[in-house]
């Protein structure tokens, strides 16, 4: 499915990628990829995009409201980021004071959650967390179907992407996870299609790696927005993964 006629993708170890500060395309194992809230894209791991496109592959006439996407956004609906990460536990964590339409982790400044959908106002929802409007749900499902159909017909040609799949690494001991910042739809479709390795690139405006043992060096910890313990709690949710 993945087409690389110009040999743009390098096969390197994650440690070598980071050591060289490699800026080109490289392969990441599908099992090592998560979204910014810690959801794996692997089939059966409750990612709304992956599960929805698997339903479409089985039944091209399926409606968005009859896919797992619908129930995911109804179930994974939290007013605060703390609830999105900790599900009612650890209620003293500072993220319980952050609305879920914002994204705030110890290693990045506060920003919009993102994923608000093409040509839609933020009040329609984000593809990372519910609730979402019916319009949003249908638009996202149609976008996934379009990507799936295109890759099925033409393959995934890295030379003609308008932008690459981008993200950064989390590192704990000698294990790594790759957090997708841009390209969530493509990543989900490639997982659903059974790809074992996905071509990605380090995001140019993100730190390339966040080390579990170095969280105390980030400003949000230095300036007491998070204690080191609270920072590690957020890291562990994303690194270890979560399910609805």
Q: Averaged in consecutive runs of 10 residues, what is the pLDDT profile of the chain (244 residues)?
A: 87 94 95 97 96 98 97 95 94 95 95 84 91 95 96 92 93 97 96 96 95 96 96 98 88
How far, in Å, CA of 158 to CA of 138, rounded?
27
Given this model, what pLDDT does residue 1 score? 77
- How many residues are recorded in the chain? 244
C-alpha distance from residue 131 to each of 58, 62, 79, 134, 160 (Å): 26, 21, 9, 10, 34
Count: domains in the chain: 1
Q: Tell me which residue range forms the domain holding 50.
A: 2-240
Given this model, what pLDDT does residue 34 score? 98
3-class DSSP state of 178: strand
Number of H helices, E strands in the chain: 8, 11
Given this model, what pLDDT does residue 97 score? 96
| Structure token digits, residue 190 | 């490639």
> Any residues with CB less than 8 A from the CB of 88 and at least 6 apart, and which?
none
How far, in Å, CA of 56 to CA of 98, rounded?
35
């Amino acid at each position: 499915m993945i087409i690389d006629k110009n040999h743009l993708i390098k096969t390197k170890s994650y440690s070598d990628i980071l050591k060289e500060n490699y800026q080109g395309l490289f392969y990441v194992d599908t099992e090592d990829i998560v979204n910014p809230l810690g959801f794996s894209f692997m089939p059966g791991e409750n990612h709304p995009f992956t599960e929805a496109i698997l339903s479409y592959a089985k039944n091209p006439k399926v409606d968005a409201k009859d896919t797992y996407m619908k129930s995911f956004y109804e179930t994974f609906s939290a007013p605060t980021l703390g609830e999105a990460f900790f599900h009612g536990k650890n209620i003293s964590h500072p993220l319980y004071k952050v609305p879920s339409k914002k994204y705030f982790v110890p290693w990045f400044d506060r920003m919009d959650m993102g994923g608000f959908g093409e040509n839609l106002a933020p009040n329609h929802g984000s593809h990372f967390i519910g609730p979402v409007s019916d319009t949003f749900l249908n638009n996202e499902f149609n976008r996934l179907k379009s990507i799936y159909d295109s890759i099925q017909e033409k393959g995934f040609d890295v030379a003609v992407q308008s932008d690459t799949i981008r993200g950064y690494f989390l590192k704990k001991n000698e294990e790594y996870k790759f957090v997708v910042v841009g390209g969530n739809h493509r990543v989900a479709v490639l997982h659903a299609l059974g790809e074992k390795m996905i071509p990605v690139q380090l995001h140019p405006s993100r730190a390339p790696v966040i080390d579990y043992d170095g969280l105390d060096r980030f400003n949000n910890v230095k300036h007491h927005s998070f204690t080191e313990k609270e920072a590690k709690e957020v890291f562990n949710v994303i690194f270890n993964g979560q399910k609805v």
